[in-house]
Amino acid sequence: MPCGTINDALPKKMGIDRGSQVLGRVHQILVEVNMSDKLYGELEIENNKLERFENRTPVRRYEVSFECPEFTCICPRSGFPDFATIRIRYVPDQFCVELKSLKLYINGFRNDKVFHEDVTNRIMDDLIELLDPHEIEVVGDFNVRGNIKTVVRAHHEKKASK
C-alpha cells in the first residue's frame, strides 16, 4: 500500500493522526526488511570507530576517568564469557575521546576471544593512538573465575619533548 493512502486505510474515528500512521507504517516496513538482519545495536557496534574531539582546555592538565562496569569478552581457552569492569583514566593533551564511540568500542569486545592481559593493553594502545594523551592508565578488573581474581593494570606516559 503506498504511503499516500495510509490515511484512507485507518478510520479517522480511531483517533490516529496521519503522522502516527506514517511512522507506524515506516516502522512496520523497517521491521519486515530487517527481520532476518542484525539488530541496530549490533550494527552500531560492528560499524563503530573510536572518535575524538579537540580538548577545549589545553591550558591546564586535568584528569578524565571512565568506568565501564559491563565489559564482556570470551575466554580463548574455554569459550566461556569473562566479565569485567574496565577503568580508564587519562590526562588529555590535544584530544579527548567521544563517549558514545567509546561505549560502542567497549561493547565490541563481547564476542572476541581474548586474554585479559591482551584486551587491557589493546584498549590502551587504541586510545594512545587516537588521543596521544599526556598520561593514560587502563585497568581490567575481571570477575572471579575458577577461584582466581584477575586485575590487569597498564600505564603509559608520553615522553617529554626535547
Q: Residue 95: beta bridge partners?
A: 54
Instruction: Tally the residues of the chain.
Output: 162
82 domain-assigned: yes
Looking at the structure of the chain, the number of domains it has is 2
Same-domain check for residues 59 and 85: yes
CA-to-CA distance for 130 and 150, rounded, in angstroms? 27
pTM: 0.75
Torsion sign (Cα): 99, 104, 110, 116: negative
**Residue 25 in grid coordinates:** 507504517
Residue 118 belongs to what domain range? 49-157
Residue 60 falls within a domain, yes or no?
A: yes
Q: How far apart are CA 69 and CA 14, in angstroms?
A: 46
Q: For the chain, what is the mean pLDDT?
A: 86
In the chain, % of residues over pLDDT 70? 77
Q: Which residues are catalytic, by number? A: 75, 82
Q: Output the pLDDT for position 27.
A: 65
Q: What is the pLDDT of residue 81?
A: 96
CB of 62 closer than 8 Å to CB of 92: yes
